[in-house]
Amino acid sequence: MSVLDIYVLGAPILRQETRPVEVVTDEIRRLIDDMFATMYAAKGIGLAAPQVGRSERLTVIDVGDDRQLVLINPEIVLAEGKQRAEEGCLSIPDIYGEVERAARVVVRALDRDGKPFELEGTELLARCIQHEVDHLHGRLFIDYLSVVKRRAALAKWEKLRKGEKSHTRKVVPAEVAEHHHRDEEL
Ligand code: K2U
Ligand code: ZN
């Protein structure tokens, strides 16, 4: 398993449609394992393939209920109610904004063995499923902000980027980051 680089806002792949996975191969399962490793290292609770530079329609989720969810070719078949909450995105670090989403969703997808299943989500799981499925269709949470809030977020993003040209960021796994911190203290 390897921790992959994360593509950030400005990378064209984040705005492209993904391709449905026709056959769930061992290579796809290796990508899934690398996406989980990358998501945990980046302290995320979801990660979509375009965020690691891949155009397959698949996402991984772990909201902390000890379930590793793999959603291949996910389709939200029911969305009801409303909820508002602050969101961030591993591809737009340090930018946050309030987003209204459906309170409850039912999603149909294939699992890591290619088997179809249906999953109901509410609260944080519903929000994460919607955030990740958006990634698979080139949508980002900033698209839901008001013009004023989006403009402020993009201005802050440009300032934080300080002319940085790269479209990817390296994920420093939590324990390694801690280690660096300890070294500095010594
Ligand atoms: O797809 C991603 O970029 C990972 C997102 C997923 C997400 C965003 C907002 C709300 C729910 C899920 C996040 O960066 S994961 C970070 C995080 C951690 C705990 C709670 C909310 C977000
Ligand atoms: Zn995101």
From 132, 158, 184, 185, active-site residue: 132
Residue owning the nearest CA to atom 12 of ligand 1: 128
Domain-located, residue 1: no
Question: For residue range 2-34, what is the model confidence (pLDDT) as tens digits?
Answer: 999 999 999 999 999 999 999 999 999 999 999
Distance CA 161, CA 80 (A): 37
Q: What is the mean pLDDT of residues 121-144?
A: 98
List the CATH number of the domain containing 25: 3.90.45.10
76/105 Cα distance (integer angstroms): 7
Is 130 contained in some domain? yes
Inter-CA distances, 113 with 31, 71, 107, 156, 166, Å: 13, 11, 17, 42, 35
Asked about 118 being catalytic, the answer comes back as no
> In degrees, to the nearest 5, what angle opens at C-alpha 67 toward C-alphas 62 and 72?
70
On whether residue 138 sits in a domain, the answer given is: yes
Task: Please state the domain count of the chain.
Answer: 1
End-to-end CA, the chain: 31
Give pLDDT, residue 172.
83
Residues with a beta carbon under 5 angstroms from ion ligand 2:
89
Domain-embedded: residue 184: no
- Choose between 176 and 80: higher pLDDT: 80
Mutation test residue for ligand 1: of 39, 87, 95, the one with most atoms within 8 Å of CB: 87
Q: Could you read off the pLDDT of 140-153 as tens digits, one per residue?
A: 999 999 999 999 99
Tokens at residue 103, please?
């309170």
Beta strands 58-61 and 46-48, pairing class: antiparallel
With respect to residue 26, please indicate whether it lies within any of the assigned structural domains. Answer: yes
**pLDDT of res. 186:** 57
Nearest CA to ligand 1 atom 17: 44
Whether 168 is in a domain gets the answer yes
Domain range for residue 81? 6-178
Ligand 2 geometric centre to CA of 178 (Å): 24
